[in-house]
C-alpha cells in the first residue's frame, strides 16, 4: 500500500489547501495520507472530506514541536480532536509558537528590519513559522529571496536566530497518548545529534511510550532508512514513511492572503 503520513497545508507553513495537497497525494498513488500541520489540527476536517471524496483514507494527524537540547518533532496520529486536555495542550503550543515569532520580530527590528505582523499573512490558522517571516522579509525588500532570508537571519547561526525551545518530547508523547493517539518521531534523519546521542534519545523516547519512527523520509539514503528500521525493530517500534511536503519550491506560503495573522 502506498501512503504518505507527513503532509503540510496552508494551515501551517505549506502552500496548498488540505484538499489540494491530498488530491496531489492521491494522484501520486497514495491510498492513505495524513495531514500533519505544525501544532494544529485545524485542517483535519477539510483533509478528511477531501480524502473521502477521493476514496482514500486520511489519518487524523499533527506535527508537535518539542525540544531536547535540539529540535525534536513528534508526529501525532489518531488522537481525539475533542479531548479537552489535548485541546489545551495544542492551545499552549500555538502560544509558544507565537511567542517565539514575537522574539524573532523584536530582533529583526533591532537590526533595522521591522516586520509588521500584518505582513505575516497567508497563514490560515495563525500558526506562524519562520518561513512566514522569511517571505515577509522578501516582500518588504530586506532580502532578495526566501532562502537568503532564512539563511542570513532565521536559521541557526544567524544573528537574529531565536533557538527553538518548548516542551520535552516526553511531554508530547504523554499528551498524545492521553488523547488516545500514537506518537512517531518525525524525520529522525534530520535531528541534529550524532548517531550515539540520537540512539540514546530514541531509546529514551521509546521508554517514554513512543510508538514509531519515521524511518522512510524524503531523500533519505538507503543506509539511513536501514539504520532507523533496525533501531526501530530492536526497540519494538513501528516505522512510517513521510515526504514532509510543503510545496514544490521553497516559496512556500507565498499564496495570496487568507486571514491576516494577528500576533498577540
Ligand atoms: P519553525 O517551525 O518556526 O521552527 O520553522 C521551521 C520550518 O521552516 C520547517 O517546518 C520548514 O518548513 C522550514 N525550514 C526549516 N529549515 C529550513 C531550511 N534549511 N530550508 C528551508 N526551509 C526550512
Ligand atoms: Mn514546516
Ligand atoms: Mn518537522
Ligand atoms: Mn513536517
Residue 261 domain flag: no
Task: Judge if 227 and 119 occupy the same domain.
Answer: no
CA of 244, nearest ligand number: 4
Q: Count the Cβ atoms, other than its own, within 10 Å of residue 121.
A: 21
- pLDDT tens for 137-193 read 999 999 999 899 999 999 999 999 998 889 999 999 999 999 999 999 999 999 999
Q: How far is CA 209 from CA 74, 169, 253, in A?
A: 12, 10, 34
103 and 41 in a common domain: no
- DSSP string across 152-193: IIISTTSTT--------HHHHHHHHHHTT-EEEE--GGG-SS
State whether residue 6 is helix, strand or coil.
strand
Probe residue for ligand 1, chosen from 11, 13, 103, 158 as the CB with the greatest number of ligand atoms within 8 Å: 13
Angle at which helix 130-139 crosses helix 84-110, to 10 degrees, equals 40
Determine if ligand 1 sits within 6 Å of the CB of residue 94. Answer: no
Which domain does 113 fall in, by range? 89-154
Instruction: For residues 73 and 175, state if they share a domain.
Output: yes
Q: Is residue 38 part of a domain?
A: yes
Does the beta carbon of 13 sit less than 6 angstroms from any atom of ligand 1?
A: yes
Cβ atoms 42, 9 nearer than 8 A: no
Looking at residue 124, its pLDDT comes to 46
Task: Provide the whole-model pTM.
Answer: 0.92
Instruction: Tally the domains of the chain.
Output: 2
What pLDDT does residue 262 have?
30
Residues with CB under 5 A from ligand 3 (ion): 73, 186
Judgement on whether residues 67 and 93 belong to the same structural domain of the protein: no
| 166 within ligand 1 shell (Cβ under 6 A) | no
The reply to whether 16 and 75 lie within a common domain is yes
Q: What is the pLDDT of residue 128?
A: 84
From CA 205, how far away is CA 211, in angstroms rounded?
9
Specify if 211 maps to a domain: yes
| DSSP symbol at 245 | B
8 alpha carbon to ligand 2 midpoint, in Å?
A: 7
Ligand nearest to the CA of 96: 1
The neighbour count for residue 255, using CB atoms within 10 Å, is 16
Same domain, 129 and 71: no
Provide the CATH number for the domain around residue 230.
3.20.20.140
Contact by Cβ (8 Å): 24, 16 = yes
Same domain, 238 and 171: yes
253 in any annotated domain: no
C-alpha 207/C-alpha 40 separation (Å) is: 26
* Summary mean pLDDT of the chain: 90
Do 70 and 171 lie in one domain? The reply is yes
The rounded percent of the chain whose pLDDT value lies above 70 is: 92
Query: Are 61 and 96 in a shared domain?
Result: no
Report the side by side order of strands in the sheet with 212-217. Answer: 61-67, 71-77, 182-185, 212-217, 238-242
Task: For residue range 77-107, list pLDDT tens digits in order.
Answer: 999 999 999 999 999 999 999 899 999 999 9
Q: Which ligand is nearest to the Cα of residue 36, counting in written order?
A: 4
Judgement on whether residues 177 and 77 belong to the same structural domain of the protein: yes
Q: Which of 114, 131, 154 is the last residue of a domain?
A: 154
| 171 and 237 inside one domain | yes
The tens digit of pLDDT for each residue in 217-228 reads 988 899 999 999
Under a CB-based contact definition with an 8 Å cutoff, are residues 245 and 21 in contact? yes
Answer yes or no: do 60 and 99 share one domain.
no
Burial 32-53 (b: 16+ CB within 10 A, else e): ebbbbbbbbbbbbebbbebbee
Amino acid at each position: 500500500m502506498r501512503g504518505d503520513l507527513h503532509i503540510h497545508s496552508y494551515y501551517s507553513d505549506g502552500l496548498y489547501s488540505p484538499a489540494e495537497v491530498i488530491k496531489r497525494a492521491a494522484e501520486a498513488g497514495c491510498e492513505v495520507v495524513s495531514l500533519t500541520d505544525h501544532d494544529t489540527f485545524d485542517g483535519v476536517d477539510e483533509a478528511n472530506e477531501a480524502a473521502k471524496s477521493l476514496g482514500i483514507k486520511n489519518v487524523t494527524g499533527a506535527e508537535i514541536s518539542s525540544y531536547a537540547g535540539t529540535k525534536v518533532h513528534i508526529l501525532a496520529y489518531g488522537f481525539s480532536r475533542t479531548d479537552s486536555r489535548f485541546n489545551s495542550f495544542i492551545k499552549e503550543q500555538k502560544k509558544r509558537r507565537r511567542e517565539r515569532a514575537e522574539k524573532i520580530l523584536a530582533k529583526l527590528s533591532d537590526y533595522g528590519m521591522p516586520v509588521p505582523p500584518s505582513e505575516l499573512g497567508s497563514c490560515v490558522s495563525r500558526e506562524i513559522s519562520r518561513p512566514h517571516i522569511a517571505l515577509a522579509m522578501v516582500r518588504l525588500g530586506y532580502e532578495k529571496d526566501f532562502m537568503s532570508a532564512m539563511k542570513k537571519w532565521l536559521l541557526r547561526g544567524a544573528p537574529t536566530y531565536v533557538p527553538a525551545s518548548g516542551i520535552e518530547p516526553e511531554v508530547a508523547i504523554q499528551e498524545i497518548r492521553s488523547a488516545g493517539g500514537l506518537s512517531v518521531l518525525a524525520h529522525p534523519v534530520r535531528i541534529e545529534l550524532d548517531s550515539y546521542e540520537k540512539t540514546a534519545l530514541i531509546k529514551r523516547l521509546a521508554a517514554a511510550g513512543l510508538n514509531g519512527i519515521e524511518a522512510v523520509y524524503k531523500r533519505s539514503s538507503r543506509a539511513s532508512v536501514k539504520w532507523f528500521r533496525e533501531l526501530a525493530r530492536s526497540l519494538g517500534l513501528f516505522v512510517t514513511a513521510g515526504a514532509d511536503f510543503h510545496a514544490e519550491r521553497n516559496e512556500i506560503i507565498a499564496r495570496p492572503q487568507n486571514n491576516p495573522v494577528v500576533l498577540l
